[in-house]
Amino acid sequence: MSLQPGDSLTSHNFGLQIDGVMVEYLAEVSGLTMEQDVITYTQNNPNGQNTVRNLPGVKKNGTCTVVRGMTQSASFTQWINQSIAGQMGSARKNASIIMMDFQNTPVKRYHLRNAWCSKIDTSTVKAGEASALTESVTIVFEELVIE
């Protein structure tokens, strides 16, 4: 592996897999979040003093947004359409965001269980503009496992 002790991963080398298949032309991943409630619990200790503890509560679902070039990737478009149509039996898929080192070796993975598309936003189309068209897709998921 090309990373040495103290080296950090760089933000430009990553990928997104959906059910084990890499999605092409991915430009950005942002807002990868998952939240858990915090339960504050107060009790007396043997000396009669208050002891305050924070305990893990209910996990909430998570979200992230991916930006990709507008391509004719049939599998990604099909996944978006299944989500929009409410076909949750086929729309819920396991996805992974994979961080790679300088030699494209996977180093860290964020596994998103039961992920599906909740929003799509296309870039602005403007006459005379010379820029790439992109799609921003918000993905929701039920569980995040970091490996």
Mind listing the domains of the chain with CATH numbers? Answer: 14-146 (2.30.110)
The pLDDT value given to residue 49: 92
Q: pLDDT grade, residue 73 (50/70/90)?
A: confident
The pLDDT value given to residue 14: 84
How confident is the model over 21-63, as pLDDT tens digits?
Answer: 877 668 899 999 989 999 999 999 899 899 999 999 999 999 9
The pLDDT value given to residue 142: 94
Q: How many CB atoms lie within 10 A of CB 73?
A: 16
Please give the structure tokens belonging to residue 7.
Answer: 């080296």
The pLDDT value given to residue 16: 87
Are 36 and 55 contacting, i.e. CB atoms less than 8 angstroms apart?
no
Are 104 and 124 contacting, i.e. CB atoms less than 8 angstroms apart?
no
Q: Lowest-confidence range among 4-8, 73-77, 103-107? A: 4-8
Q: pLDDT grade, residue 104 (50/70/90)?
A: confident
Q: What are the distances in angstroms from CA 86 to CA 108, 118, 120? A: 32, 10, 14
Residue 115 main-chain phi, psi, to 5 deg: -85, 145
pTM given for the model = 0.82
Q: How many CB atoms lie within 10 A of CB 116?
A: 23
Report the share of the chain in percent with pLDDT over 90.
Answer: 54
The pLDDT value given to residue 3: 63
